[in-house]
Each structure stands twice: as structure tokens, then as C-alpha cells.
């Protein structure tokens, strides 16, 4: 990839641009996951079931996965800044519609509109970050930009839950609309002009899909993210089932989880460039242990034990989110755009699988069985992680395949 801006050192504006992109990723992922924290009020407000609202997360994820692949084939050479602005406008429209719907069917339409922008935006933003920073800052840049993903996953959901309980679930989507406007203004004013010359098209996609190393990352992502979201999509009903937690304390519990996630993202950014594989392995292992504990001891856990478990979960999931994305960008080199697009497709597909499987297990069996199954699954992802090189041996091969 070549760009109009390829600076030997970072400037203040470049760092600020990374934080603007982080706000953008926070907005798009919080939009995706907002129903997770609003299952109960949205189901009541639209006269449908919690499982149906949960399935809107799955639909959003699947559409987002397809839009990321579409973007990698057809949109790679469009001006990144203009494209990001356009996608942010589409996201704004989706959130406004979601805030004003009066039926479940219209909600589905609004979610599909947002998902179309979501996948393309996420795929594009990784390549944008690579284009903006020198290689030695890639880990830190990824941690900042995709820290928005971690923050949304662990903080956006409790924020939505709090707003939904205290002000109404529609206000949560209005907040996402406001954040879309803030992201638009930030991108317009701060993000430098970047003209992409990315490897794009079917051949570029084939080159990425022909990499055995990237396939190991994608497979690990599929296991780990599916497991996480199978459990996390239904964290609110699980917390409601705990006799040691009052209904009024649940938003505070989710916020503690969110704060732990933000701390985890900061810690990940400090160590990931030197200890990428160790960070991902330890993070996945800790999440697996937490999920198994929550599933096996759900009837006897004290409030303190639940909070400790959620803090560990929140810290660890940041290592998984940022770790896999950094790994893909580090290995892909000039093929960052198609490699990131495929990663986004797997990530969103995993959210869809996790939410769907979680809904089935939770309704057919129990939430306890769901958490145990998720714990075992995320531990299995470590088998793939341990055989992935943490260095950058394949970028040249990918580039050759796409020429």
C-alpha cells in the first residue's frame, strides 16, 4: 500500500486522528451490540421476545461480514476519507431509524442499513491505520483504533443498558446517532487525506485466503469470538438470574465490567508489540476459566465473586480483540485491506454464530450450559493460537500473489 501520507515519525495530528478513528470504531460496534444491553426493554417495547431482539445482533453481524468482503473487492481504491465519511452518514441514518421504529420488522430494516456500513467501515479502518503510521507504531496504533472495538464490547453494552433502564431504550440509539455526528466531524477535520493503492479485487482476496497462517488466525478468531458473544449476548439475563444481585445493581455491574475492559485495552497496548502471542493465549485462557466458573457455580456465587469474574473477563477480552487484529495487520503487510476485510468477516460471522447458538442453547437448555459450552470453546481457540507465528513471514508472499 502506498499513500500520500507516509511519515517517518508520528505527529500530534496523527495520534489525534487515531483517537478519532477509535471513537468511530466505538460507535459502529456499540451500534452493533446495543441490543445486547437492551434485550428486555426492547422486547417489551416492540412486543416481541428477548431471543428475537438477540437475533438482530446476529443479522447485523452476518450482513456486516458480507459487506466487508464486498468492500475488499470493490472499494479499496476509493479515497479512504470520503468513504469513511459516507459510511458514517449511513450509520447515522441507521441509528435514527432504530430510535424511531414502532415495529420489529422496521427495526430489522434499520439494522441491515447499519450493518452495510459497519462491515465496510471496519475493513477500511484497519488499512487506514496502517497507512497513517510507521511500522514500529503499528501495535500502538492498532491498540488505539481498535480499542474502540474493545471499549464498545465491554463498555458500550453497559452504557446502553443504563440508558435503557433509566431513560428508555430509544435514547440509547439516539446517543449512537450523536456519536456518529461527532465521528463524522472528527474524520472530516482531523483525518489526513489518504489515497489508497491497496491490493484489491478477487485475486487479492484469493491471495489472502491462500495463506495457511492467516487461516489459523481466522479459525482462532471464529472459535474465540463465537464463544465470547454466545455468553456475552445473554449476560444481562444471566445477571438477572443471580439471587445475590439486585436489579438496580446490574447496570453498575456491567459498568465495572466495562471499566475493566478499558483498563485491559491500555495494558494490551503497552505489551502487545513485544508479547503478542502470549497476550492472546493468556487472555483466551482467562476468559475460558471465567466462563466455566460462572456456568458451573451460578447458584452459589457471591456478589464479590461475580464482580471479580467480570473484571477478569473484561480485561482479558481486550487482549483477544486487539491481539487478533494486530496479528492480521502485522502478517498481511501490503495486503492489509483484504486481510483485514476477511478478518472482519470472520469476526462478525463469529458474533452471528455466537448470538444464534447462544439463543438456542439458552432457550433449549439453560444459561448455565451456555456459559460452560462457551468456556470450553474459547479454550479450544488456544490450540490454533499456539501454532501461529507472531513475526511477519508472509506479507511478501501475499503481495506476490496479488500482483
pLDDT at 128 over 90: no
Number of residues that this document lists for the chain: 403
Mind listing the pLDDT tens digit for each residue in 69-123?
A: 888 777 766 777 888 999 999 999 999 999 999 889 999 999 999 999 988 888 7
61-66: average pLDDT: 85
Cα–Cα distance for residue pair 238/252, rounded to 1 Å: 15
Is residue 160's pLDDT more than 70? yes
pLDDT at 99: 93
What pLDDT does 223 receive?
A: 93
Distances (CA, A) of 124 to 21, 24, 56, 350, 381: 11, 12, 24, 19, 26
Region of residue 211 (left: phi > 0; alpha: psi -120 to 50; beta: else): beta
The HSE-up count of residue 388 (CA atoms within 13 Å, CB side) is 29
Question: What pLDDT, on a 0 to 100 scale, did the predictor assign at position 34?
Answer: 84
DSSP code string of 302-328 = -HHHHHHHHHHHHHHHHHHHHHHHHHH
Residue predicted with more confidence, 147 or 164: 164
User: Residue 259: CB partners within 8 Å, gap ≥ 6?
Assistant: 155, 314
DSSP letters for 98-148? HHH--SHHHHHHHHHHHHHHHHHHHHHHHHHHHHHS-GGGHHHHHHHHTHH
| Helix count and strand count (H, E) for the chain | 18, 0
Residue 374: which pLDDT band, with cuts at 50, 70 and 90?
very high
The CA distance from 140 to 153, in Å, is 19
Q: Taking the CB of residue 299, how many other CB atoms lie within 10 A of it?
A: 10
Q: What is the mean pLDDT of the chain?
A: 82
Sorted by sequence, the CB contacts under 8 Å of residue 140 that are 6+ apart come out as 133, 269, 273
- Please, are residues 32 and 351 in contact by the beta-carbon 8 Å criterion? yes
Report helix, strand or coil for 28: helix
- Say if residue 395's pLDDT is above 60: no
Predicted confidence at residue 111, as pLDDT, reads 92
In this prediction, residue 6 carries a pLDDT of 45
373 pLDDT more than 90: yes
CB 140 within 8 A of CB 267: no
Q: Which three cell numbers stand for residue 252?
A: 453498575
Quote the pLDDT of residue 1: 40
pLDDT at 372 over 70: yes
Query: Residue 96 class from Cβ within 10 Å (0-12 exposed, 13-18 middle, 19+ buried)?
Result: middle
150 vs 16, which has greater pLDDT?
A: 16
Q: What whole-number distance in Å separates Cα of residue 16 and Cα of residue 14?
A: 5
What is the mean predicted confidence (pLDDT) over 143-172? 81
The CA-atom distances, in angstroms, between 209 and each of 61, 338, 343 are: 20, 9, 11
**What gap in Å lies between CA 196 and CA 334, rounded to an integer?**
11
User: CA 336 → CA 196, 199, 279, distances in Å?
Assistant: 11, 8, 22
180-198, pLDDT tens digit by residue? 999 999 999 998 876 545 5
Identify the pLDDT of residue 199.
53
| Average pLDDT of the residues in 128-134 | 76
pLDDT, tens digit, 9 for 90 and up, residues 303-338: 888 999 999 999 999 889 888 888 887 887 777 778
pLDDT digits (tens, 9 = 90+) for 192-233: 876 545 555 576 677 777 788 888 889 999 999 999 989 987
pLDDT band per the 50, 70, 90 thresholds, residue 399: very low
Burial of 145 (0-12, 13-18, 19+ CB in 10 A): buried
Predicted confidence band of residue 396 (pLDDT cuts 50, 70, 90): very low
Query: What's this model's pTM, rounded to 2 decimal places?
Result: 0.77
Over residues 347-358, mean pLDDT: 83
Amino acid at each position: 500500500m502506498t499513500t500520500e501520507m507516509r511519515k517517518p515519525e508520528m505527529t500530534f495530528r496523527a495520534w489525534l486522528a487515531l483517537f478519532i478513528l477509535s471513537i468511530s470504531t466505538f460507535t459502529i460496534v456499540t451500534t452493533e451490540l446495543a441490543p445486547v444491553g437492551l434485550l428486555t426493554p426492547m422486547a417489551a417495547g416492540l412486543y416481541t421476545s428477548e431471543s428475537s431482539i438477540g437475533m438482530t445482533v446476529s443479522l447485523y453481524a452476518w450482513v456486516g461480514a458480507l459487506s466487508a468482503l464486498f468492500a475488499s473487492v470493490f472499494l479499496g481504491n476509493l479515497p479512504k476519507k470520503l468513504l469513511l465519511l459516507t459510511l458514517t452518514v449511513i450509520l447515522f441514518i441507521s441509528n435514527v431509524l432504530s430510535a424511531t421504529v414502532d415495529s420489529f420488522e422496521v427495526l430489522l430494516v434499520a439494522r441491515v442499513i447499519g450493518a452495510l456500513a459497519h462491515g465496510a467501515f471496519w475493513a477500511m479502518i484497519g488499512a487506514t491505520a496502517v497507512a497513517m503510521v510507521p511500522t514500529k507504531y503499528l501495535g500502538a496504533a492498532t491498540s488505539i483504533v481498535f480499542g474502540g472495538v474493545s471499549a464498545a464490547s465491554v463498555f458500550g453494552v453497559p452504557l446502553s443498558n443504563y440508558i435503557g433502564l433509566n431513560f428508555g431504550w430509544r435514547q440509547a440509539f439516539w446517543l449512537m446517532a450523536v456519536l456518529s455526528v461527532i465521528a463524522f466531524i472528527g474524520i472530516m477535520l482531523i483525518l489526513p487525506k489518504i489515497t489508497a493503492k491497496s491490493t484489491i479485487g478477487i485475486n487479492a482476496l484469493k491471495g489472502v485466503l491462500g495463506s495457511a497462517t492467516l487461516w489459523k488466525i481466522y479459525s482462532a478468531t471464529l472459535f474465540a469470538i463465537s464463544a465470547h458473544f454466545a455468553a456475552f449476548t445473554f449476560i444481562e439475563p444471566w445477571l438477572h438470574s443471580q439471587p445475590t444481585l439486585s436489579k438496580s445493581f446490574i447496570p453498575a455491574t456491567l459498568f465495572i465490567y466495562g471499566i475493566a475492559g478499558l483498563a485491559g485495552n491500555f495494558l494490551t497496548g503497552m505489551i502487545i508489540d513485544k508479547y503478542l502471542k502470549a497476550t492472546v493465549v493468556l487472555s483466551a485462557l482467562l476468559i475460558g476459566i471465567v466462563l466455566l466458573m460462572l456456568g458451573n457455580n451460578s447458584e452459589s456465587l457471591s456478589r464479590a465473586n461475580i464482580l471479580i469474574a467480570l473484571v477478569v473477563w473484561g480485561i482479558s477480552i481486550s487482549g483477544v480483540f486487539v491481539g487478533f487484529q494486530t496479528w492480521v495487520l502485522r502478517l498481511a503487510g501490503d495486503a492489509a485491506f483484504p486481510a483485514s476485510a476477511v478478518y472482519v468477516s470472520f469476526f462478525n460471522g463469529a458474533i452471528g454464530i455466537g448470538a444464534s447458538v447462544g439463543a438456542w442453547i439458552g432457550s433449549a437448555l439453560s444459561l448455565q450450559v451456555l456459559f460452560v459450552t462457551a468456556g470450553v470453546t474459547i479454550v479450544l481457540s488456544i490450540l490454533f493460537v499456539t501454532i501461529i507465528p507472531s513475526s511477519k513471514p508472509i506479507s511478501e508472499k501475499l503481495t506476490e500473489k496479488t500482483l
